[in-house]
């Protein structure tokens, strides 16, 4: 079986020699994502916070290595876990959809209130398209096969150490919207 590869520098996924679009790229290229928020500073912050929270989940975070400007975001995640009892099962999981040929990296699958959930951690202002992003991730085989019916949430982590878990994204049409975005993406000949 061909292995999925991710090229960090270009943020591209490959299955063998075939390039697969990412969930976020699809939504971005068809106009759902306002790229004004995609600054270099936001990308660096997102990467740093994701890495630190992953280490926190793995029990090996050295708080002294977290840059001061990101401490609040990481502490917000720690508080979320403590307050909610959230138990991560998969952190930073990468997969691809076998028939629709798109790929991506989801942030978290875990258990919350005795239910399986898929959560995307965010450090910015809540956006309407996050529910479509999570709908794409929820259809990955690793999620759908092992955690059927996982409830989708976004988790906004804030600099001041607070957090906000979104209401569950329950609309079954979110998957249809993501599929439509993928069809438009391919019809426009985007790579």
- Kindly report, residue by residue over 12-30, the tens digit of the pLDDT: 999 999 999 999 999 999 9
**Residue 12 CB contacts under 8 Å (≥ 6 apart), including other chains:** 6, 19, 22
Q: Is the pLDDT of residue 148 over 60?
A: yes
Q: Give the model's confidence band at 80: pLDDT under 50 very low, under 70 low, under 90 confident, else very high.
A: very high
Average pLDDT, integer, range 1-17: 88
Q: Distance of CA 45 to CAs 80, 90, 97, 121, 172, Å?
A: 19, 21, 28, 12, 32
Tokens encoding 80: 């979320």
Average pLDDT, integer, range 105-125: 95
Dihedrals phi, psi of 149, to nearest 5 degrees: 75, 15
Average pLDDT, integer, range 69-86: 97
Q: Is the pLDDT of residue 112 over 90?
A: yes
- Average model confidence (pLDDT) across the chain: 93
Q: Which pLDDT value is given to residue 46?
A: 86
Q: Which pLDDT value is given to residue 43?
A: 79
pLDDT more than 90, % of the chain: 85
Dihedrals phi, psi of 94, to nearest 5 degrees: -115, 135
Domains detected in the chain: 4-187 (3.40.1350.10)
Place of tokens 């697969």: 20
Question: Buried b / exposed e across 28-63, counting CB within 10 Å, b at 16+?
Answer: bbbebbeeeeeeeeeeebbebbbbbbbbbbeeebee
Distance of CA 161 to the CA centre of its chain: 20
Average pLDDT, integer, range 171-191: 91
Q: What is the pTM of this model?
A: 0.93
Residues 130 and 137: beta-carbon distance below 8 Å: no
Q: Which pLDDT value is given to residue 94?
A: 95
Average pLDDT, integer, range 150-178: 97
Query: What distance in Å separates the CA atoms of residue 101 and residue 179, rounded to the nearest whole number?
Result: 11
Q: Which pLDDT value is given to residue 124?
A: 82
């Amino acid at each position: 079986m061909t292995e999925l590869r991710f090229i960090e520098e270009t943020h591209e996924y490959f299955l063998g020699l075939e390039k697969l679009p990412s969930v976020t790229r699809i939504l971005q290229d068809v106009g759902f994502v306002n790229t004004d928020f995609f600054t270099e500073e936001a990308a660096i912050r997102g990467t740093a916070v994701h890495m630190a929270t992953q280490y926190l989940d793995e029990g090996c975070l050295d708080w002294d290595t977290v840059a001061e400007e990101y401490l609040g975001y990481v502490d917000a995640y720690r508080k979320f876990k403590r307050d909610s009892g959230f138990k991560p099962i998969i952190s930073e999981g990468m997969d691809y959809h076998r028939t629709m040929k798109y790929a991506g990296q989801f942030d978290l699958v875990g258990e919350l209130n005795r239910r399986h959930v898929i959560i995307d951690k965010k450090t910015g202002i809540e956006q309407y398209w996050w529910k479509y992003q999570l709908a794409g991730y929820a259809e990955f085989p690793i999620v759908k096969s092992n955690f059927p019916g996982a409830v989708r949430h976004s988790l906004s982590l804030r600099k001041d150490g607070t957090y906000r878990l979104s209401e569950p994204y329950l609309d079954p049409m979110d998957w249809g919207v993501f599929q439509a975005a993928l069809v438009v993406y391919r019809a426009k000949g985007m790579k």
